[in-house]
Structure 1
Amino acid sequence: MHDDEPPNLTLTPIGILHTPFPDRVSTPRQPHAAGGAEGRIELFPGRGLEHAVMDLEEWEYIWVLFWFHLNSSWRPKVLPPRSSGKRRGVFGTRSPHRPNPIGLSLVRLVSVDGLVLHVRDVDMIDKSPVFDIKPYLPYAEARTSARTGWIENLAPTNDAPPADPEPGFTVSWSAEAMQRAAFLRDELHIDITSPIERTLQLGPQPHPYRRIRIEPDGTRRLAHKDWRAWFSVDGRHVTIITIDTGYREKDLATSCDVAIEPHRVFVEKFGRAKQPGGC
């Protein structure tokens, strides 16, 4: 190490997050988009943290400093969900792809049970390491008149742009799509409804991070993990037309991968979906 190089720092997690979101695809983009998702922070025993949480329960909101533990690299420029296709410098965004993948989220504190903090509005991936917890001070930290950079250009012209400046899209399901999604949820314990709606509410335009594409015949398709949703757009309303597996017939017939089994059950129940625009 050269004399002018800063020393490496060592951070030790104080606990771990448990949330309903096992991966990046399932995770909401911000706490307010989490729809009241509940989680808990389990602090590690034997470190005196029982005393550290005293007086915490009196606060309604807390800041959670955590680690994006699934990240292995960072990107100087990123493509945020609301950036309308333009890449932005990572420091001008809240992207997780940072030089030091440290996350900061504001969550509602529900209760404190010993070393377990029950929280709501979580937007973190399950098993994220926690570094610190701080109370949220509205009088010191809320700046409602602060400029919001490039996001202001996405807002409609008015005196007080909304907190989430780009008007969202509404999403509805056809009877066929609803039936298929309900089968996945009730029989196979696979919830695709919430993540698909969250993604399409951001916008139905082709976007690599959202895995949306327009097929050669003009139909629109969203990929969520190994599932596919075809949809149509009318103004600012999106209608999900049908749901299908993303696996090919050959894979369904011959693969020994256990992850394919729910897809086989799904196809046995419904057959392959007739894709919009197809023959």
Structure 2
Amino acid sequence: MAAPGPVSSTRLSLEPIGLVHSPLLSKAEAARQPAAATGATARIELYPGRNYEHALEDLEGWERIWVLFWFHLNDSWRPKVLPPRSASGRKGVFATRSPYRPNPLGLSAVRLERIDGLTLFIRDVDLVDGTPVLDIKPYVPYTDAYPDSATGWLHDEAEAVQRVRAGAAPPDPISAWSVHFDPRAAEQAAWIEARTGLPLRERITATLMLGPQPHAYRRIRREGGGYLLKVKEWRVRFARSQQDIRVLEVSSGYRPAEIGRSADHAEDPLAVHRDFRVAWK
């Protein structure tokens, strides 16, 4: 048998076909997977003058599409990363969906609502604003879904959940946690949602269902005898009991002095935080 030849190091050239326009302005605001972004909307605007209007023909009948994109906010990669669902340490980046990749390519299955010219209106989106889109393909259920496939280290994490239930030392569970809001916390979250449009209760629930353990990606840390979760500029205090999580209260992430100084500006960017403090003394 002939010896294999050298691995090619040919550089490839890619050109975006369009951009994502989304209300998500930072990585911290985006869901970790499209499944955790149910209902989130965005649009993809393809560049004109490239015959893409013809390329879009016959796509509108598909309920879901694959969006191949570039993680444009990442400028480095890491061979080992700590995924949000890992309770057993860092994993090789090729065994994860982490954006910190040698070639920062991303792939999301999103719901296609409609097409208007060169604009695709999509839902269940985990893409930040300005994401370059490299390609679009239809999601074909009978060939793209393999629900019985082995899930690697995620299977080990699921077994860890069973060990918790059997009384062993508690690792970070995957989806075995129930999230409940105390009445005050539910009212505070509803107040914020009504005034900012941020789906706070949905974001809190999606994050805490993965477990309460402190985790950098999930922005959770211990605070006194409880826990603190950061969601954008809001702080969420919660407690745990066996497999249940109680959300106790929501507060502003800004200090009173910062909110006070904001009043000196004509537009007062922290006005909603001032009103929140008045409403929830």
Shift in Å, 1:49: 0.5
Is the CA contact (8 Å cut-off) linking 1:41 and 1:119 kept in structure 2?
Answer: yes
1:262 aligns with 2:265: no
- Aligned partner of residue 54 in structure 2, secondary structure: helix
Cα separation, 2, equivalents of 1:61 and 1:251: 44
Aligned to 1:249: 256
Aligned to 2:210: 202
Instruction: Please identify, of 135-144 and 224-233, the stretch whose mean Cα deviation from structure 2 is larger.
Output: 135-144
Cα separation, 1, equivalents of 2:7 and 2:124: 42
AA aligned opposite 1:69: H
Shift in Å, 1:141: 2.9
- Aligned partner of residue 215 in structure 2, secondary structure: coil
Gap change, CA 1:73 and 1:260, over 3 Å in 2:
farther
Match of 1:173 among 181, 188, 201: 181
Is the CA contact (8 Å cut-off) linking 1:26 and 1:195 kept in structure 2?
Answer: no
Instruction: Please identify, of 187-196 and 11-20, the stretch whose mean Cα deviation from structure 2 is larger.
Output: 187-196
Cα separation, 2, equivalents of 1:152 and 1:85: 12
Shift in Å, 1:206: 1.2
Aligned to 1:113: 116
Cα separation, 1, equivalents of 2:256 and 2:48: 51
Q: How does 1:106-255 map to 2 (within 5 A)?
A: 106-156=109-159, 166-215=174-223, 217-254=224-261
Instruction: Please identify, of 229-238 and 48-57, the stretch whose mean Cα deviation from structure 2 is larger.
Output: 229-238
Gap change, CA 1:191 and 1:101, over 3 Å in 2:
same
Gap change, CA 1:264 and 1:54, over 3 Å in 2:
same
- Aligned partner of residue 216 in structure 2, secondary structure: coil
Is the CA contact (8 Å cut-off) linking 2:174 and 2:209 kept in structure 1?
Answer: no
Shift in Å, 1:259: 4.4
Shift in Å, 1:269: 2.6
Gap change, CA 1:129 and 1:110, over 3 Å in 2:
same
Shift in Å, 1:222: 1.2
Percent pairwise identity: 48
- Aligned partner of residue 231 in structure 1, secondary structure: strand
Q: Deviations over 1:32-63 (max 9, x none)?
A: 22223232221111100111111212323221
Is the CA contact (8 Å cut-off) linking 1:65 and 1:103 kept in structure 2?
Answer: yes
Gap change, CA 1:142 and 1:25, over 3 Å in 2:
same
Aligned residues, how many? 261
Shift in Å, 1:244: 1.1
Q: Deviations over 1:51-87 (max 9, x none)?
A: 1111212323221101112112221111101101510
Gap change, CA 1:40 and 1:190, over 3 Å in 2:
closer
Gap change, CA 1:226 and 1:85, over 3 Å in 2:
farther
Q: Deviations over 1:86-131 (max 9, x none)?
A: 1011111011111111111112222222212222222211221111
Is the CA contact (8 Å cut-off) linking 1:85 and 1:207 kept in structure 2?
Answer: no
Instruction: Please identify, of 249-258 and 260-269, the stretch whose mean Cα deviation from structure 2 is larger.
Output: 249-258
Cα separation, 2, equivalents of 1:171 and 1:229: 13
Cα separation, 1, equivalents of 2:25 and 2:67: 18
What is the TM-score of this pair, normalised by structure 1?
0.84
